[in-house]
A and B are shown apart, each in its own frame.
Chain A
């Protein structure tokens, strides 16, 4: 005989055998029926084993009262201590969309504050260095400048040259339809000087130098060398960050200048194929690109360089612990650097448009 369940208002009458088969048939119904008000009449239960006790336990946990359970089954239930509230760990609810947006915004705000704080700290330190220039670590600054600048010349040459060649080719084909090949030099010259040379150089710097800073400083952080410096009374900001900021901020415009020249040379070389001599291209560019174009390009490069170095150093100093953290820092320095470049370039474009530069 298996178990049966009858509902009579708030009364639940259980009868029959409360074993594995019996309980399986009535468990769901009993659970649904049990509430704070219900009483369970178990006087007709003829057999009850561990599973039956578990069912009764479950019902008690739901607030039901058990009545009339035969004495021989009572110890089985008592063993489970059913009046003790069961400690069910609250499963964390998956966060709603609003909470997710909130968390994201809070995280973003924290990051931004961190960056602003870092920039402030760097500014204060640079001010101190400006007043006592001798405290700048010149050797370190030059070393960084050499590795960020001089060592980058081959790759900058390659990219800038190809950039000039591609631009010249792409624009020469439609321009020829109008017989305007001559003006390709103007176009390429202007876009290189104002836009492409600073941006491409900065992207290369972000990949080569920004990530390298993050990895370098991150490794020092993981090895506790930064702590060691601090206990010796050295401010990592002045000792490690400032030389890098200064070196990159000065190297970036120089590299940009070099990239402009190489790019223009590449373009001019292509134009010789369209029967325009090098000298003509040169004079076209000279006549068209003026000093303010040139200076805005270099100004941008300066800002880009500063931004890349700042992000690289900041990510390095914020490296967590463990060797994997260094890789994560280098990657995020690279990605954040490039995002920063694109955003900053957009802002520059808007600003220059309104300023009429």
Chain B
């Protein structure tokens, strides 16, 4: 089912949580709302669910106006960051709950409920936990149960609010791949909120980057990462080094390297990702001179902090092999050349 969001705004007292949001969500799409905390992404999700009413604007579900439709008629499945499982019910009862509380006319038979719940528990690979209570489960298990509970009511839309936010890194990675596979099987329109750019880029069909209640950019993970529309998006999607430069005849300069700056005015800000900088031991005219001040080993990659004259500290990332081959150490003199950069007007 497709969702259209038209000019939605929402204020909480003085705080403008959503500012004129327009967004189309295709049927069967897995969409990520990505942004820093307080950017309005959770509010937008709650507005879609019907848990918050917008101050202005319209929401269409499958072309029909659903702005004033009550939550219970929207048929959404909602997965909460902290699971929100009912503590006094077993896993089975939790999943069955949405079906059991239906009015008699639409309620399936007890037999059918049992079958459905076991199917769902198998789908989330936790059938063997049916008789446990939520408190006896690990975080990852709880979140999968919460997902099963949300799917039990056969929602038209699945909404996930930072579903993996409270889990540790390894479980997160596993679960997000699992979510992706699940979505490929079920093809239910899904929107999930996250502040983790890696998660959004890995899982989603489309990423919507939000900041201060507005949408900064919307596109496929590749589009958003390779062609960030604004400096904010660029900065949010990974670590960056910042350079300021004057623009001469459409060219901005870092050290001696020139980058085209067609849209920038007088001054430009140049963003360079840490892994897009080359290191050399030999001096050259068009490189920035610096001194290595820190070496941090991050597993497969190594990150060097380099102090240069003009800038406080630049970060350079290189593979472990290169690091070992070139044997960088604290105090070494180094010359830097950016390979790639992105230039924005200042």
Contacts and interface: CB of A to CB of B under 8 A. Distances in A.
A231 B86 contact: no
A322 to B, nearest CB: 12
Given A223-B84, A224-B84, A233 B72 contact: yes
B246 interface: no
A93 to B, nearest CB: 18
B17 to A, nearest CB: 15
A224 B165 CA distance: 15
A231 B82 contact: no
Contacts of B77: 231
Interface in A202-259: 223-225, 227-228, 230-235, 239
Contact of A234 (B73, B80, B87, B101): B101
A231 B101 contact: no
Nearest to A230: B71
Contacts, number: 46
Nearest to A219: B87
A239 B73 CA distance: 17
Contacts of A228: 78, 80, 84, 86, 149
Contacts of A233: 71-73, 98, 101-102, 153
A227 B78 contact: yes
B97 interface: yes
Contact of A225 (B81, B84, B101, B102): B84
B82 A223 contact: yes
Contacts of B49: 231
Contacts of B84: 223-225, 227-228
A225 B78 contact: no
B222 interface: no
Nearest to A232: B98
Nearest to A132: B103
B261 interface: no
A227 B80 contact: yes
A146 to B, nearest CB: 15
Contacts of B81: 224
Interface string B215-253: 000000000000000000000000000000000000000
B86 A232 contact: no
A232 B50 CA distance: 11
Given A225-B86, A227-B51, A232 B101 contact: yes
Interface in B80-108: 80-82, 84-87, 97-98, 101-102
B251 to A, nearest CB: 31
Given A223-B82, A224-B84, A227-B84, A232 B153 contact: yes
Contacts of A223: 82, 84, 87
Contacts of B85: 225
Interface in B16-68: 49-51
Interface string A177-205: 00000000000000000000000000000
Contacts of B82: 223-224
Nearest to B78: A231
Nearest to A234: B101
A234 B102 CA distance: 9
A105 B80 CA distance: 37
Nearest to A239: B101
B80 A232 contact: no
B120 interface: no
A224 B76 CA distance: 16
Of A223, A228, A231, A233, the most chain B CB neighbours within 10 A belong to: A231
B297 to A, nearest CB: 38
A284 to B, nearest CB: 50
A117 to B, nearest CB: 15
Nearest to B155: A231
Contacts of A225: 84-86
A53 B305 CA distance: 39
B170 to A, nearest CB: 25
Nearest to A235: B72
Of A232, A233, A234, the most chain B CB neighbours within 10 A belong to: A232
Nearest to B161: A224
Interface string B251-266: 0000000000000000
Contacts of B102: 233
A230 B74 CA distance: 11
Contacts of A239: 101
B80 A224 contact: yes
A13 to B, nearest CB: 44
Nearest to A135: B103
Top 8 A-B pairs ranked by shortest CB distance? A233-B72, A224-B84, A231-B78, A228-B84, A224-B80, A232-B98, A225-B84, A230-B71
18 contacts: A223-B84, A223-B87, A224-B80, A224-B82, A225-B86, A227-B51, A227-B78, A227-B84, A228-B80, A228-B84, A231-B50, A231-B51, A231-B71, A231-B76, A231-B150, A232-B72, A232-B101, A234-B72
Given A224-B81, A232-B153, 9 more contacts: A223-B84, A228-B84, A230-B71, A231-B51, A231-B71, A232-B97, A233-B71, A233-B101, A233-B102
